[in-house]
Amino acid sequence: MARTRIAVIGGGVIGGGWAARFALAGHDVAVYDPDPEAGRKIGEVYANAEAATRRLYVAPLPPPGTIRFEGSIAEAVAGAGWVQESVSERLDLKHRVYAEIQETLDPEAVIGSSTSGFKPSELQQGARDPGQIVVAHPFNPVYLLPLVEIVPGPDGDPRAVEWARTLLSGVGMHPLVVRQEIDAHIADRFLEAVWREALWLVKDGVATTEEIDDAIRYGFGLRWAQMGLFETYRVAGGEAGMRHFMAQFGPALKWPWTKLMDVPEFDDALVDLIAGQSDAQSGHRSIRELERIRDDNLVGILQALKAKPWGAGETVAAHEKRLRELSFAGAEAAHDLARPLPLHGATVLPEWVDYNGHMTEFRYLHVFGDATDAFLTYIGMDAAYMAGGRSIYTVETHLRHVAEVREGRPLHVTTQLLGHDDKRVRIVHVMREGEGGAVLATGEHMLLSVDTKAGRACPLAAPVTERLAEIAAGHSALAAPDFAGRAIRSI
């Protein structure tokens, strides 16, 4: 996706998350927020977002965009293609902000509101161009959770909806277009129902805030995270499926299990009770520490789902594929084929280090394996190639551990083609600490073309053969590394 100028109006928790997601996807972001602490707060959010995003995706991230702070709304939105409004949930304030935005904003640009409750028709009241405003409601943390609810409303412009789909998909989100406007959209209506019932359970002394959180995070929350509500209940119906579940549990709807149509009095006593229990539960940790713990857990869950791919993991996997394709396109357009190919990068994650604080042995192979996959994709071994019954397998590997690799270090891998014939491809990877840094490790690999149906070696085919010939022509001037072809020497 082309680099787009983004404006973020309101730099709180949600606005800061938006700024981080857009910037990490390669877009330049202009922020307006009168809070003098906005720069510090967004800087801290961005640091957390960058760490989490680099852990989430194996594919190289694009060069990050800039985040700059402007002194007025007009300065922030000038030249913007998308404006993300994330000011406080006050309709009068939003109307004043939209009027100021539309005095300067390009008529072709779109305004997305982060509102969790207001309908688009309410936001559009009195606007110069109502169709320019849509709801684009995300979930915290914006830079990790893919869901964004797009609500155009009755006066919404279909072009604005399509732009929202394109832009937000391009930054790794899952746009859910809501069929008709409704208070609190879709997801927050569920959250409101759970929240009301939780307030009663605490007020009535049935459970504490920690016990309610435990009921969610140790139980149905894990199911909802990967199957949602209806698919979870379909499974609960057993082999007879959803119809059996509905017949079995439908009568419970008449039982007084919940108080969803009633709300406890929201007085100081209830606030003090919940705030006190929450302090006892989590008050020993700072908000930034809780955010990092949350992000680490979400990355782990999303990576597990990505491996399937399933649920939100499908969105992450699709975005990672796009990132890799963008990286390859950039390498083809800008890279000199007379030099090794810079096709892969990674960051050493906490779970990659051992008791010595160094990256453990199998992670070297992990990184080099990802680099090999990147090379294979680069030369054209994609789904279409494999659909023809051919693939390329690694049949021999030799790794050298040159220097210590510690947690958090950026890894930059370049790949050199040492040779190939009609069935074999020989490559060498060099892992450095960042681009142009010290050599940390090397990996030499022999790859073999395989007929996947017959289970035996076979000749390589187009377009792989053509791409290999192009790379070989460029790499022919490169000297083979002095370690290439060496095995472990005798003691």
pLDDT at 244: 86
Per-residue confidence (pLDDT) for residue 5, from 0 to 100: 96
- Asked if 324 and 377 count as a contact pair (C-beta separation under 8 A), the reply is yes
> 103-151 pLDDT, tens per residue?
999 999 999 999 999 999 999 999 999 999 999 999 999 999 999 999 9
Distance CA 243, CA 341 (A): 55
The fraction of the chain above a pLDDT of 70, given in percent, is 98
Q: Which CATH number is associated with domain 5-177?
A: 3.40.50.720
Does residue 476 surpass a pLDDT of 60?
Answer: yes
CA dist 78 and 106 (Å) reads: 8
Query: Two tokens at 357?
Result: 């604080």
331, pLDDT greater than 80: no
Is the model's pLDDT at 274 over the cut of 80?
yes
Binned at pLDDT 50, 70 and 90, residue 262 comes out as confident
Under CATH, domain 187-284 is a member of which superfamily? Answer: N-(1-d-carboxylethyl)-l-norvaline Dehydrogenase; domain 2 (1.10.1040.10)
Going by their DSSP bridges, the two strands 410-420 and 390-401 should be labelled as: unpaired
Who wins on pLDDT, 316 or 248?
316
pLDDT of residue 55: 87
Mean pLDDT, rounded, for 2-21: 96
pLDDT band at 266 (very low <50, low <70, confident <90, very high): confident
Report whether pLDDT(259) > 90.
no
Indicate if the pLDDT at residue 6 is higher than 70. Answer: yes
Residue-level pLDDT at 275: 92
pLDDT at 333: 56
CATH 3.10.129.10 assigned to domain 337-475? The reply is: yes
Task: Specify whether the CB–CB gap between 264 and 270 falls below 8 A.
Answer: yes
C-alpha torsion 125→126→132→138, nearest 10: -40
In terms of pLDDT, which residue wins out, 347 or 417?
A: 417
Q: Mean pLDDT across the stretch 467-491?
A: 90
Where are the alpha helices (H) located in 63-157, listed in sequence order?
73-77, 91-104, 120-123
Distances (CA, A) of 380 to 24, 127, 165, 377: 27, 50, 29, 5
Instruction: Of 22-31, 244-253, 263-272, 424-433, give the lowest mean pLDDT range.
Output: 244-253
Cβ–Cβ < 8 Å for 123, 92? no
Rounded CA separation 76/174 (Å): 26
**Cβ-Cβ contacts under 8 Å for 27 (sequence gap 6 or more):** 3, 4, 5, 6, 65, 171
Q: Does the pLDDT at position 334 exceed 60?
A: no
Comparing 226-230, 250-254, 473-477, which segment has the lowest mean pLDDT?
Answer: 250-254
Q: The whole model's pTM is what?
A: 0.82
Q: CB of 6 within 8 A of CB of 29?
A: yes
pLDDT at 329 over 70: no
Indicate whether 243 pLDDT > 90.
no
| pLDDT band per the 50, 70, 90 thresholds, residue 160 | very high
Would the pLDDT of 49 be above 90? yes
Per-residue pLDDT at 263: 81
Which string of DSSP letters, residue by residue, matches 361-377? HHHHHHHHHHHHHHHHH
- In angstroms, rounded to a whole number, what is the distance separating the alpha carbons of residues 181 and 135? 10
Confidence of residue 491 (pLDDT cuts 50, 70, 90): confident
- Average pLDDT over the chain, rounded to whole? 92
Q: Which two tokens stand for residue 317?
A: 């996997």
Tell me the per-residue pLDDT of 277-312, one tens digit each, with 9 for 90 and over: 999 999 999 989 999 999 999 999 999 999 888 999
Q: What is the mean pLDDT of residues 374-382?
A: 91
* Confidence (pLDDT) at 1: 64
pLDDT band, very low/low/confident/very high, at 346 (cuts 50, 70, 90): confident
Highest mean pLDDT pick, 52-56, 267-271, 354-358, 456-460: 456-460
pLDDT of 332 strictly over 80: no
Domain ranges of the chain: 5-177, 187-284, 337-475
* 153-157, 159-163, 180-184, 450-454: least confidently modelled range: 153-157
pLDDT for res 256:
79
Q: How does residue 350 score in pLDDT terms, banded at 50, 70 and 90?
A: confident
